[in-house]
């Protein structure tokens, strides 16, 4: 009976269905993402459960905060697309870009500009992806609290690893990158303000 059953298995089973058969995917062990992916958008429902509201209440190193402004702050992305991936967040728990006040909008934009300046300095970034995903339908990971991505890019970073091998190479730890960017922030902000002043003077001349 057992032999007959084994013979019939061949009628319904092929090599691709067998456990351990190689496929096209590389598997990266990321258990730290379980808390995020297991609950999705439902895990953040109000200010009490919002990580962007909680982060400023802790010290910078614990929360991965790079710098604090008056109305907004800059934090490392816990799940970076590239080394140095930053998020600019308002302190207020608001979901939409149109909810920002004029003052918040100005600082939100300025912190983004300084972040780009600093990333060019510390990692020789050749380009950037800037973006805000608005709402669940817009692909926001946490839709209830506005945040803007600053993703540094380099020539050739879209090579065979992510495109063919489906593997992303992130070359720096988040903690180390936070410290490097935080240490360079003031000098980057100073250069940015000097450039702004020169631009104003040139316009008035």
Binding site per annotation, positions for substrate? 77, 149
> Parallel, antiparallel, or unpaired for β 127-131 and 148-153?
antiparallel
Among 32, 93, 147, 190, the active-site one is 147
**Residue closest to 37 by CA, chosen among 137, 131, 116, 142:** 142
Our CA dihedral for 175, 180, 182, 185, rounded to 10 degrees, sits at -160
**Known binding positions:** 77, 149
Non-local (6+) Cβ contacts of 68 within 8 A are 56, 60
Catalytic residue check, 147: yes
Q: Where are the beta strands (DSSP E) in 81-159?
A: 86-90, 127-131, 148-153
Give the residue numbers annotated as catalytic, written as ranges. Answer: 147
């Amino acid at each position: 009976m057992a032999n007959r059953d084994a013979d019939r298995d061949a009628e319904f089973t092929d090599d691709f269905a067998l456990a351990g058969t190689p496929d096209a995917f590389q598997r990266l062990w990321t258990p730290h993402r379980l808390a995020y992916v297991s609950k999705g958008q439902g895990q953040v429902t109000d200010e009490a459960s919002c990580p962007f509201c909680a982060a400023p209440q802790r010290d910078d190193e614990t929360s991965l905060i790079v710098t604090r402004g008056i109305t907004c702050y800059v934090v490392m992305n816990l799940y970076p697309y590239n080394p140095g991936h930053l998020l600019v967040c308002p302190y207020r728990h608001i979901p939409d870009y149109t909810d920002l006040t004029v003052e918040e909008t100005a600082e939100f934009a300025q912190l983004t500009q300084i972040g780009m300046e600093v990333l060019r300095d510390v990692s020789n970034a050749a380009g950037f992806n800037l973006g805000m995903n608005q709402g669940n339908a817009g692909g926001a990971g946490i839709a209830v609290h506005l945040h803007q991505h600053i993703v540094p890019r380099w020539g050739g970073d879209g090579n065979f690893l992510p495109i063919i091998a489906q593997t992303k190479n992130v070359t720096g730890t988040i903690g180390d990158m936070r410290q490097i960017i935080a240490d360079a922030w003031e000098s980057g902000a100073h250069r940015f303000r000097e450039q702004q002043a020169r631009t104003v003077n040139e316009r008035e001349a």
